[in-house]
Amino acid sequence: MPEGAKARRVYLSLHDQISDGRLCDGETLPGEQRLAETYSVSRVTVRRALDALNEAGLIEKRVGSGTTVRSKSLAEKRAAMNFNTLMPQLVEMGQSTTARLLSFSYSLPPDYVAHAMGLDPSDKAQIATRVRLADGVPFSHLTTYVPTRIAQNYSENDLATTPLFKLLERSGVQIDAAHQSVSASLAGPEVAEALSIAEGSALLSLKRVVRDVDGNGVEYLSGLYRPDMFSLEMPLARVGDGVGRHWEPAIGQTDQDLQEQSRS
């Protein structure tokens, strides 16, 4: 992020336009003077914002030919998750990305976590916070809560190097079901620093409770994802008749399946 509130405002505006496709790959940005007039800032401020975008690999500055957008590099790094296959994709992501362990402790979990997992008020849990990186770029901030009786079967080093699903199964847990919800959140100071984004940036928020075959809560995950690096996708089918015709999640079907059905 560039220094200065005005430069950050310009940076975030251009960053959002690149990430959501309003500024396309290969498109030439207006000159510094034009951008300065658009955002009512100085050319020095614009230059700081452009330098930060260039360092992030989102634009390319060439003397004599202007500044061009490189949204393709951003798209290549973005992880697209399909709701139909979200769980196996997350497991695969854990195997193909790297993790940095930020904190690790055993203590009482927050009340809402204990309630969701069905823990007694006196039950402690292993609380670990990690950042996942793709090609060295941080894209998710994950905090997991695991009952102490399970978590004692693996070490802090194991958690830093092995996906949690594998550690749970290695500990003898028979995972049966999970419930998760997706919403939005804003990056606080610590999360913003860990994900290399501006404080207050919008994030995708994923909460998940994992249960074993006996219905016991074995993991609570609180995940925050950068929307420029992570997206959730869902195929929809047009169903019903007449005025009742509506969109419905096409569970178990791919976009290609739906296209073939629409042609038949």
The pLDDT score that the predictor gives to residue 82 is: 53
- For residue 90, pLDDT over 60 is answered with no
- For residue 168, pLDDT over 80 is answered with yes
- For residue 22, pLDDT over 90 is answered with no
Place 258 in a pLDDT band, splitting at 50, 70 and 90. very low
Task: Give residue 147's identity as a one-letter amino acid code.
Answer: P
- Burial bucket for residue 73 (CB in 10 Å: 0-12, 13-18, 19+): middle
> Worst-scoring range by mean pLDDT, 44-58, 69-83, 95-109, 176-190?
69-83
For residue 168 the two structure tokens come to 């749970």
d(CA 245, CA 238): 7
* pTM, full prediction: 0.67
Mean pLDDT for 227-255 is 75
- For residue 80, pLDDT over 60 is answered with no
Q: Please provide the average confidence, as pLDDT, over all residues in the chain.
A: 83
Mean pLDDT for 128-148 is 90
Q: Please give the residue that has the higher pLDDT: either 62 or 217.
A: 217
CB 227 within 8 A of CB 202: yes
Mean pLDDT for 146-164 is 89
Mean pLDDT for 63-80 is 68
- For residue 259, pLDDT over 80 is answered with no
Q: Please give the residue that has the higher pLDDT: either 243 or 145.
A: 145
- For residue 111, pLDDT over 80 is answered with yes
Place 42 in a pLDDT band, splitting at 50, 70 and 90. very high
d(CA 139, CA 56): 14
d(CA 67, CA 71): 13
d(CA 261, CA 259): 5
Task: Give residue 41's identity as a one-letter amino acid code.
Answer: V
The pLDDT score that the predictor gives to residue 76 is: 54
- For residue 108, pLDDT over 90 is answered with yes
The pLDDT score that the predictor gives to residue 21 is: 75
- For residue 99, pLDDT over 90 is answered with no
- For residue 139, pLDDT over 90 is answered with no
